[in-house]
Amino acid sequence: MKKMNNIRTIVADDDSGAGMVTMQVIPGQSVIDWTAFKTAGQHNGSLLIKSGTVEVDPTDKHPIGGTIYFDMNSIDDFDQTGAMKDLLIGDLKKADFFDVEKYPEAKLEIIKVDHMPDSSGNYGVNAALTMKGIRNEITFKANYQVQPDGSIKIQTGEIIVDRIKWGITVGSKNIFKKLADHIIADNFDVKATVVAK
């Protein structure tokens, strides 16, 4: 292992001799934005990224893998204030939602990133998301930029998460048939910004 521009260079274990660079996620510059939908409207907020690594190609810093950890206790809401905000955040932390006392951390593992971008400059990403101890694979689009200081900034497009696959069934019209105005959509949307160096 040798240091190059303050980035750890790791040689891959396969026979090709190809190397990769492991970059450390910068928590203060990395965040998840989320939007959840219900019959009467929607809520939106954020979730902090606590740590992680991103593996990149040493020639152009094209992301090829990595693992990112989320702080589930940091979940925040932007559209409510005061007691209503506290109530919503409290509900999201309960056992029938994200159960943050038992599962304070979620994890995203990057499995594969396309080598070539689409017509919009985005790359296809295959990943695995673990929440509440349940691991499911997801796909999404993302792009990246190399910053002047040598870091990379990765921004995803909309990631659609079907909460039912992670055992979060509260308020689902597909599970509970008589909820009327209390229906919560099964899917919620997230977008991530990850900065690593």
Query: Could you report the per-residue pLDDT of 34-80, keeping only the tens digit for each?
Result: 998 877 788 999 999 999 999 999 999 999 999 999 999 999 999 99
Under 8 Å between Cβ of 141 and 123: yes
| Six token digits for residue 139 | 């796909």
Distances (CA, A) of 125 to 46, 88, 109, 110, 118: 22, 31, 10, 7, 12
How far, in Å, CA of 81 to CA of 105, rounded? 25
User: Is the entire prediction scored with pTM above 0.85?
Assistant: no
Q: Does residue 7 carry a pLDDT above 50?
A: no
Residue 37: how many CA atoms within 13 Å on its side-chain side?
Answer: 11
Residue with tokens 């980035």: 7
**What pLDDT is recorded for position 187?**
84
Q: Cβ contacts of residue 36 below 8 Å, gap of 6+?
A: 42, 43, 44, 184, 185, 188, 189
How far, in Å, CA of 146 to CA of 143, rounded? 11
**What pLDDT is recorded for position 43?**
92
**Residue 85 gets which letter from DSSP?**
H
Under 8 Å between Cβ of 184 and 170: yes
**What pLDDT is recorded for position 12?**
35
